[in-house]
DNA sequence: TTGACATATCGAAAAATCTAGATATACAAT
DNA sequence: ATTGTATATCTAGATTTTTCGATATGTCAA
């Protein structure tokens, strides 16, 4: 875990919003999972396009944001067909909260 | 509390180090408190010069780092004579850990 | 009150980040 | 095969951050 990369990822309003939205995907992304067939269970995953629409930044920007957050460990993704679904990496975020509590 | 300012403050190796050093000032700053007279009790406070020496960045840089961290809420300071002593704002950091746990 | 020292602030160059549009890639449907 | 759609990558200009040296301010000591 690279704390600095995590903090950098969190140092941006839009990225922080994305992380919060993904806590309650069904609330913030009503159309969520529209393309996800049932045999692929990826609970809470939201595709890039839906996130882009809500975040109101360009497609390339949201793509690189998501990539950055994933590299930092905050998100995980799965590609299905032409869509990439991102969701929070709750296990990592849990560890992070622990790290924060004990190390910061 | 402005989470983004906090995360920006933590997005730098040197600043992160300073925060960690200040968890155990007597360990990391052996000469700590050399100028602090006993009647001023400011436990754990370390003066700018000592921090600069350890951080190995310029005086102006360390001064602005400390100011930034204080504005973010992470540090608090007291001036005594010609020295300014900085220490962790543990109460704030505590709240922060809580925020992190519940909101991130 | 002058000189020395600690810290803060200013101004600027270099580096990093932000963000978009253009293009590439991957897949789906026809 | 071709076209359309979703996402990723590339490129580049704008903005922000980093970091320093120079200078200013505040304080102590002689």
Q: What is the pLDDT of residues A1-28, one digit of tens each?
A: 999 999 999 999 999 999 999 999 999 9
What average pLDDT does the segment B36-44 reach? 64
Residues in chain A: 104
* Nucleic strand C within 7 A of Cβ A34: no
Judge whether residue B10 has pLDDT over 80: yes
The minimum CA-CA distance between B90 and chain A, rounded to whole Å, is 10
What average pLDDT does the segment B33-50 reach? 74
The minimum CA-CA distance between A77 and chain B, rounded to whole Å, is 18
Q: What is the DSSP letter of B11?
A: S
Cα gap A25→B94, rounded to integer Å: 29
Contact residues, chain B, for A100 at CB < 8 Å:
96-97, 100-101
What pLDDT, on the 0 to 100 scale, is given for residue B36? Answer: 62
- Across chain A, mean pLDDT equals 92
B48-54 CB contacts, 8 Å cutoff, 24+ apart: B48/B83, B48/B84, B48/B86, B49/B83, B51/B18, B51/B21, B51/B86, B54/B21, B54/B28, B54/B29
Give B44's pLDDT tier (boundaries 50, 70, 90).
confident
Cα gap A33→A25, rounded to integer Å: 10
Judge whether residue B9 has pLDDT over 90: yes
Judge whether residue B39 has pLDDT over 80: no
The minimum CA-CA distance between B101 and chain A, rounded to whole Å, is 5
Domains of chain A, with CATH numbers?
3-103 (1.10.10.10)
Residue A15, Cβ neighbours under 10 Å: how many? 23
Give the residue ranges of chain A where pLDDT is below 70.
Answer: 32-41
Q: Please enumerate in sequence order all residues whose Cβ is within 8 A of that of A20, keeping only pairs 6 or more positions apart, or say none.
A: B103
For A:38-77, CB contacts with B below 8 A are none
* Nucleic strand C within 7 A of Cβ A7: no
Q: Considering only alpha carbons, which residue of chain B is nearest residue A10?
A: B7
What average pLDDT does the segment B3-15 reach? 98
> Pick from B83, B75, B77: which is nearest to B37 by CA?
B83
- Condensed to tens digits (0 to 9), the pLDDT of residues B83-92 reads 999 999 999 9
Tokens of A54: 């809500």
Q: Please enumerate in sequence order all residues whose Cβ is within 8 A of that of B20, keeping only pairs 6 or more positions apart, or say none.
A: A103
Tokens of B29: 């700053």
Cα gap B69→B89, rounded to integer Å: 10
What pLDDT, on the 0 to 100 scale, is given for residue B30? Answer: 85
Q: Considering only alpha carbons, which residue of chain A is nearest residue B104?
A: A20
């Amino acid at each position: 875990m690279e704390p600095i990369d995590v903090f950098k990822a969190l140092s941006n309003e839009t990225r922080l919003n994305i992380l919060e939205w993904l806590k309650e995907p069904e609330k913030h992304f009503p159309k969520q999972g529209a393309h996800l067939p049932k045999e692929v269970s990826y609970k809470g995953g939201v595709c890039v396009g839906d996130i882009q629409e809500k975040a109101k930044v360009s497609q390339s920007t949201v793509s690189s944001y998501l990539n950055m957050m994933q590299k930092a460990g905050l998100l995980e993704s799965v590609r299905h067909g032409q869509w990439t679904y991102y969701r929070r990496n709750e296990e990592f975020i849990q560890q992070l909260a622990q790290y924060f509590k004990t190390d910061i």
